[in-house]
Each structure stands twice: as structure tokens, then as C-alpha cells.
């Protein structure tokens, strides 16, 4: 049967199933095939907090969304064009996000009375007409997989488990994906069990062939490669990129990286990743708690390493006292907060930007630190290097505010040339700096950076004591002098305020916008996508995105004042908006959502359109 081939510019597919159905892996493989083809991609996994929620229930549903296009895209897509639902729970949990007319591929084998009852379906939605608005493809995924593996030496259970590869084969056929990398992957993954390689490959091929032969799928789609900057790419999640950025910071500074961490979702993957890179001199320590993790990192920095600690909001709260100590000691320290929905345990696998206040202000005393936030998964690499650069150059704690959305989302990353990465080499103090040539003044500052000398133990002649008690300017001796304390507090503030950070850039293609939308961190994608659509529709809107939240770019006030209206969308109740209002006396409009989910481009488009029209 010859199939019709239709060209599309973009597609959003969501693979959904039970936690045990291998949906993350299926999505990953589809993404990798898509990357090989040269589409631009953005992905978003969504998994339950429970490790093994009861099978077939709504809390047990795990999904993976991939958006790919023949042009550069900014988000994993608002709504899927295709939903693959491996069981009734997956259908029920995801149907709300599905626009009418979308394709729904369901595994009919799982639509048994019992499974339907588990999620409260009295009648099967496949039979009661409730899916009439969708293009439903009922496929007996499990039994066809088992049938395809009939001649192979695998247990029934293993055969059934290969059904995700059947689904992947079918989808790969539908969207004309190159599949060699998946076959290679299966060989690697099951190297120790050749019978599983054979089973999964056979399931994949069966799915592919099913697409080719069945009449239910009459159309095959193509999405042409996107025009992307020349170079070598890989698909990468934010947590991976951040980890690699820290390894790169070690190489570029010539310092050992020390990571102190206590496991916490969604930051643990950074600990897992960095623990694999010992050959770079990276030392990881799973500490007894968050306080020990940051303490050990600070101790390592004191000894001349790049001390790093990675955590999420509850962990930052515990680390707060030690971060203040680092402010007083004026030592480098990188604190990574992969934000999740709070307060307290909140929704650990859901995203939020509500730790900004804590990063900026959440310490006792006047304890300023630098704060930066990556805007996308791949940007986490560069943000980590930037955090290290500031920490090492200015001898200060730096808080890096990632979030669950960028941490687990992925996108293509143009591999950088190692030589193009910033040079992070530091100069340790090696000789006395006092005028008499013999005394060492641990708090005598470099006039350009206001940084104090980094004199690491082991350096002869520079023995000195530091601590949390207020220090006299220059000598670092304990001091209760009122004027000295005033000077030290102001100097510590100035140290952060005067860190040079790049000017904020404004994207306003026609230069006639009267409304500026200002974002920070992971909202970059949806805000950018919304602005693009508005412009395509003839509305003028300017976009600016903050990477440096402390200190803020020097030109920010001028930029904001150049517009009639400033809108600040945030996944919190207006934390950046507060700061902007206080600091620049600008009547910024907040647009806030705390649903544990990233903004959709569509909702931002509606909101921004209203502001533009009323400006």
C-alpha cells in the first residue's frame, strides 16, 4: 500500500503510560532520532514523585513530550498533536491537554474492565463517543508485540515489556525518523542479554512495519531539518549541561572541583553526573545533610578548590547560615538551587521560580551574594561557568537558580570549542602584602575587584586566621569598632554591586514596541514564543531577559524606563516584580502562575496581547 506523505513544519508528541512502561526511554529515543535528522527540538518529561505508584492509576502516569520543527523553537510545545496512551490512566490524565483534532494512539490491550475501573471509567472512552473530536487509532500494542516475538526465546513478561519499542517503531515510521541510532542503543543497553536485544529490535521493526501496512495510518509525515548554526550538536538536559559546565569550570580554572551535596529532587542528577568525572579531579561527597554539604564545599574552597553545593529550595534554607559565613569569609562558593514547587516539600517534581526572594535576601545580616539564572537547558552549561567565574574572581558565594523545567527539559546544544570557554585561572596569594614586606593582610583588597587575597593553607609565611566574627579592614583581626563594621558591611555590599555584568539586551525587531516583557530564568522559552507569535500577528512587543539577578545589569533602569508598560511573567507571586518596583520605581505589571507547570506560549500570548492593545 502506498502512503501519502505530508510535510509539516512542527509536531508535538506526548508519550504517556504507566511508570513501568518505559515512556521516558521511548521519548528519549524518539528525541535522539529526531536530533539525528536535524530538526530543532525541545523536550519535557513529566514523572510522578512516587517511585512506583500502583500500576494503572492516575498518580502512576509518566509522560514525555517532544516538540520538533523545521525552524528554531523555544518550548516543548503547549499542546500535543499526538498522544500515545499506553493505558486508560495515561489517556485520562493527558486528555485535558489535547486539542480537538489531535491524533490519539491507544493501546487497546490495556483497556480492560479492571483497568478502566481503576481510573473511574464506567464505559470505555473508546466506545462511548467521548473521543469523537479526536482521530483515534486503536492499536493492540501489547498483543501485537507478543505476537511479533513469538519465535524468540523471551519470557512473556519480557515480550510484553517490549511494547514501548513497538510504539516507538510505529511513531518513527509515522514521522519518517532515522532509526539506526536506536538499534545501536538497544545493542548497548542490553549487551549482557542478547535475547533482549533481539526482542526489542523485533518489537521496534514490528511497530514500523505495522505503520507501513495497516490502513489505519494512511498518512506519513515529514518535518524537514531546521536551519541551525553550523557545528556539532547533542541533545542535553539542564542538569546534564550544568554538571558539564562545572567540570569545564574545573578544567578552565585549573582547580579541583569539590561538590558537597545531599540528595534532593530535582537536583540529585547533578550529584550523580559529577560523581562520574573523577578523572577531572572532581570530588563529590554525599554529605550527612544540606548543612554539611555546603560546609564541606566551603572548607574545600578554603583549601583552594572550587567548592560547589547543589540542592533545591529546602536545602538552600538549611544552607543559609553557612552561605552567610562564606560572605564573611569572602571565599568562592557556588550554590545551585534547582527550584521546585514549595513551600516545604510542596510538589517536588514540579517547577516553580519561588526561591528568588530567598536567593536575594534569605540570609541573616547584610549578606549580599551574586545570583544568576539560566534561561534554557543548554544555557545551564554557560550559567555554571559564569557562576564559577564570578565566585572565583570576586571570592563570593554565587547562587545559581535553575528549576525543574530547565533541569529536566532538553534541547539541542551546540558543542562549544574548549578554547572559547572563559579563562578562569586564579592567582593564589603567595607572598606577604603588607607594606613592611613581612605581614600578611588577609582583608587587603584588590582595588579593581574588591576581592581579598585567597591565601590557601600550605602557603608559607601567610598563616592567618579568618572567621565569622567581624573583621577589621585589611588586617582581618576581630573588631567591634562601630565605624569598621559600617565600612565592612558597605564594602561587602559594594563588592557584589560592582561586579561587572553584561548589559541586558532587548529584542524589539522593529524598534517601535511600547510594551516590554521582562523575564528571568526558565520562562525565556514561553515568553519568546509568545512574543514571536504576537509579532507575526503585527503587534509590537519588546522582550528582555535577566540572567544576572544580583547584581542587575547597569542599563536595566534605562531599558525599563524606555517603555510605557513593563510586564513581568513569573512562576511565583511577583518576586522579581517587587524588586523592580522597589529599585527602579517602575509600575511593573506582574503575570503570575504557580501551578507547578511552565507557562504555555498561548496563555502568555493572550495576556501580553491585552497589555499591548491597552498600552
Partner 1 sequence: MPEPTALKLTAKDFKSDQEVRWCPGCGDYAILAAVQGFMPELGIPRENIVFISGIGCSSRFPYYMNTYGMHSIHGRAPAIATGLSTTRPDLSIWVVTGDGDALSIGGNHLIHALRRNVNLKILLFNNRIYGLTKGQYSPTSEIGKITKSTPVGSADAPFNPLSLALGAEATFVARTIDSDRKHLQSVLRAAAEHQGSAFVEIYQNCNIFNDGAFDQLKEPATRDDYLIRLEHRQPITFGTDGQFCVVHPPGGFGLEVRETATTPTDQIVVHDATVTDPAYAFALTRLPGPDLRNTPIGVLRSVNRPAYDTVVQEQVATAKARTDQTLEQQLARLLANGDTWTII
Query: Rule CB under 8 A: is residue 366 a binding residue for partner 1?
Result: no
Provide, rounded to whole angstroms, the least separation between the CB of residue 3 and partner 1.
26
Please list every residue from 276 through 305 that binds partner 1, using CB under 8 A.
277-281, 283, 285, 287-289, 291-292, 295-305
Provide, rounded to whole angstroms, the least separation between the CB of residue 350 and partner 1.
27
Helix (H/G/I), strand (E/B), else coil: 527: helix
Nearer to partner 1, 204 or 233 (CB): 233
- In the block, residue with C-alpha cell 522579581: 576
Choose which of 3, 137, 224, 234 interacts with partner 1 (CB under 8 A): 234
- In the block, residue with C-alpha cell 592567582: 427
Nearer to partner 1, 65 or 309 (CB): 309
Provide, rounded to whole angstroms, the least separation between the CB of residue 237 and partner 1.
11
Provide, rounded to whole angstroms, the least separation between the CB of residue 397 and partner 1.
14
Nearer to partner 1, 99 or 225 (CB): 225
Tally of CB atoms within 10 A around 539:
16
Please list every residue from 342 through 361 that binds partner 1, using CB under 8 A.
none
Choose which of 24, 32, 311, 408 interacts with partner 1 (CB under 8 A): 32
Half-sphere exposure of residue 156: CA atoms within 13 angstroms, side-chain side = 1
By CB under 8 A, which span of 30-38, 80-88, 208-216, 443-451 interacts with partner 1?
30-38
How many whole angstroms separate alpha carbon 461 and alpha carbon 27? 59
Bridge-based pairing of strands 306-311 and 333-339 is parallel
Give Cα 137 distance to the centre of its chain: 33
Nearer to partner 1, 255 or 496 (CB): 255
Helix (H/G/I), strand (E/B), else coil: 491: helix
Query: Rule CB under 8 A: is residue 229 a binding residue for partner 1?
Result: yes
How many whole angstroms separate alpha carbon 492 and alpha carbon 397? 12
Choose which of 22, 169, 307, 315 interacts with partner 1 (CB under 8 A): 307
Cβ atoms of residues 488 and 452 within 8 Å? no
How many whole angstroms separate alpha carbon 366 and alpha carbon 489? 7
By CB under 8 A, which span of 115-123, 252-260, 355-363, 533-541 interacts with partner 1?
252-260
C-alpha distances (whole Å) from 261 to each of 247, 318, 329, 331, 388 are 16, 12, 21, 18, 17
Reported as type and span, the H/E element at residue 269 is helix 268-274
Question: Among 273, 325, 269, which residue's Cα sits nearest to residue 302?
Answer: 325
Provide, rounded to whole angstroms, the least separation between the CB of residue 244 and partner 1.
6
Choose which of 8, 25, 152, 251 interacts with partner 1 (CB under 8 A): 251
How many whole angstroms separate alpha carbon 390 and alpha carbon 394? 6
Choose which of 60, 125, 211, 260 interacts with partner 1 (CB under 8 A): 260
By CB under 8 A, which span of 60-68, 153-161, 232-240, 498-506 interacts with partner 1?
232-240
Choose which of 11, 12, 16, 35 interacts with partner 1 (CB under 8 A): 35
Please list every residue from 47 through 86 that binds partner 1, using CB under 8 A.
none
Strand-pairing partners, residue 519, are 545
Choose which of 30, 258, 394, 563 interacts with partner 1 (CB under 8 A): 258
How many amino acids of this chain bind partner 1 (CB under 8 A)? 70
Query: Rule CB under 8 A: is residue 422 a binding residue for partner 1?
Result: no
Nearer to partner 1, 138 or 281 (CB): 281
Q: What are the residues whose beta carbons fall under 8 Å from the beta carbon of 275, sequence distance 6 or more?
A: 284
Provide, rounded to whole angstroms, the least separation between the CB of residue 413 and partner 1.
9
Query: Rule CB under 8 A: is residue 256 a binding residue for partner 1?
Result: yes
Nearest-5° angle of CA 245, CA 73, CA 21?
A: 75
Please list every residue from 436 through 495 that binds partner 1, using CB under 8 A.
457-469, 477-478
How many whole angstroms separate alpha carbon 535 and alpha carbon 295? 49
With left for phi above 0 and alpha for psi between -120 and 50, is residue 379 left, alpha or beta?
Answer: alpha
Cβ atoms of residues 91 and 104 within 8 Å? yes
Q: Exposed, middle or buried by CB within 10 Å (0-12, 13-18, 19+), for 392?
A: buried
**Rule CB under 8 A: which residues touch partner 1?**
32, 35-36, 38, 181, 225, 228-235, 244, 247-248, 251, 256, 258, 260, 277-281, 283, 285, 287-289, 291-292, 295-305, 307, 321-322, 325, 329, 415-416, 418-419, 430-431, 457-469, 477-478
Amino acid at each position: 500500500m502506498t502512503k501519502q506523505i505530508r510535510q509539516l513544519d512542527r509536531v508535538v508528541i506526548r508519550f504517556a503510560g504507566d511508570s513501568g512502561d518505559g515512556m521516558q526511554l521511548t521519548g528519549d529515543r524518539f528525541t535522539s532520532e529526531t536530533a539525528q535528522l536535524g530538526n530543532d527540538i525541545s523536550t519535557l518529561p513529566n514523572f510522578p514523585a512516587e517511585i512506583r505508584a500502583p500500576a494503572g492509576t492516575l498518580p502512576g502516569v509518566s509522560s514525555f513530550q517532544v516538540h520538533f520543527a523545521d525552524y528554531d523553537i523555544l518550548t516543548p510545545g503547549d499542546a500535543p498533536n499526538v498522544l500515545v496512551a499506553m493505558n486508560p490512566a495515561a489517556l485520562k490524565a493527558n486528555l485535558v491537554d489535547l486539542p480537538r483534532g489531535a491524533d490519539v494512539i491507544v493501546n487497546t490491550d490495556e483497556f480492560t474492565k479492571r483497568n478502566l475501573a481503576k481510573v473511574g471509567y464506567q464505559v470505555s472512552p473508546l466506545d462511548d463517543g467521548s473521543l469523537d473530536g479526536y482521530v483515534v487509532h486503536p492499536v493492540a500494542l501489547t498483543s501485537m508485540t507478543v505476537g511479533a516475538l513469538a519465535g524468540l526465546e523471551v519470557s512473556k513478561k519480557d515480550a510484553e515489556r517490549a511494547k514501548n519499542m513497538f510504539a516507538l517503531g510505529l511513531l518513527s515510521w509515522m514521522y519518517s525518523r532515522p532509526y539506526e541510532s536506536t538499534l545501536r542503543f538497544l545493542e548497548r543497553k542490553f549487551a549482557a542479554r542478547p535475547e533482549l536485544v533481539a526482542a526489542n529490535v523485533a518489537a521496534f521493526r514490528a511497530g514500523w512495519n505495522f505503520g507501513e501496512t495497516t490502513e489505519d495510518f494512511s498518512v506519513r509525515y515529514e518535518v524537514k531539518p531546521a536551519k541551525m548554526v553550523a557545528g556539532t550538536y547533542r541533545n542535553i538536559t539542564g542538569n546534564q549541561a550544568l554538571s558539564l559546565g562545572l567540570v569545564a569550570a574545573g578544567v578552565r580554572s585549573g582547580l579541583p572541583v569539590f561538590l558537597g551535596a545531599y540528595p534532593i529532587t530535582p537536583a540529585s542528577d547533578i550529584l550523580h553526573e559529577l560523581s562520574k568525572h573523577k578523572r577531572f579531579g572532581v570530588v563529590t561527597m554525599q554529605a550527612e545533610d544540606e548543612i554539611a554539604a555546603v560546609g564541606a564545599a566551603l572548607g574545600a574552597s578554603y583549601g583552594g578548590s572550587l567548592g560547589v553545593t547543589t540542592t533545591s529550595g529546602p536545602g538552600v534554607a538549611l544552607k543559609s547560615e553557612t552561605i552567610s559565613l562564606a560572605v564573611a569569609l569572602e571565599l568562592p562558593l557556588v550554590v545551585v538551587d534547582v527550584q521546585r514547587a514549595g513551600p516545604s516539600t510542596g510538589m517536588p517534581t514540579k517547577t516553580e521560580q519561588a526561591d528568588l526572594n530567598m536567593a536575594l535576601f534569605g540570609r541573616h545580616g547584610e549578606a549580599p551574594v551574586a545570583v544568576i539564572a539560566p534561561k534554557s537547558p543548554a544555557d545551564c552549561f554557560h550559567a555554571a561557568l559564569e557562576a564559577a567565574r564570578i565566585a572565583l574572581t570576586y571570592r563570593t558565594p554565587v547562587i545559581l537558580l535553575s528549576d525543574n523545567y530547565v533541569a529536566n527539559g532538553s534541547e539541542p546544544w551546540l558543542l562549544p570549542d574548549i578554547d572559547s570557554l572563559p579563562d578562569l585561572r586564579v592567582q593564589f596569594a603567595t607572598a606577604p602584602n603588607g607594606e613592611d614586606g613581612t605581614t600578611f593582610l588577609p582583608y587587603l583588597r584588590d582595588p579593581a575587584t574588591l576581592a581579598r587575597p585567597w591565601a590557601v593553607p600550605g602557603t608559607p609565611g601567610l598563616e592567618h586566621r579568618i572567621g565569622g566574627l567581624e573583621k577589621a579592614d585589611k588586617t582581618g583581626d576581630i573588631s567591634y569598632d562601630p565605624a569598621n563594621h559600617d565600612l565592612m558591611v558597605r564594602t561587602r555590599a559594594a563588592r557584589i554591586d560592582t561586579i561587572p555584568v553584561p548589559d541586558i539586551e532587548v529584542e524589539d525587531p522593529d524598534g517601535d514596541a511600547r510594551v516590554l516583557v521582562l523575564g528571568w530564568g526558565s520562562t525565556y522559552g514561553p515568553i519568546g514564543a509568545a512574543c514571536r507569535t504576537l509579532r507575526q500577528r503585527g503587534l509590537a512587543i519588546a522582550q528582555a531577559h535577566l540572567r544576572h539577578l544580583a547584581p542587575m545589569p547597569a542599563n536595566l533602569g534605562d531599558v525599563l524606563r524606555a517603555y510605557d508598560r513593563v510586564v513581568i511573567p513569573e512562576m511565583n507571586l511577583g518576586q522579581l516584580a517587587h524588586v523592580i518596583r522597589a529599585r527602579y520605581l517602575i509600575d511593573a505589571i506582574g503575570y503570575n502562575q504557580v501551578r507547578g507547570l511552565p507557562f504555555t506560549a498561548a496563555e502568555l500570548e493572550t495576556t501580553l496581547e491585552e497589555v499591548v492593545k491597552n498600552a
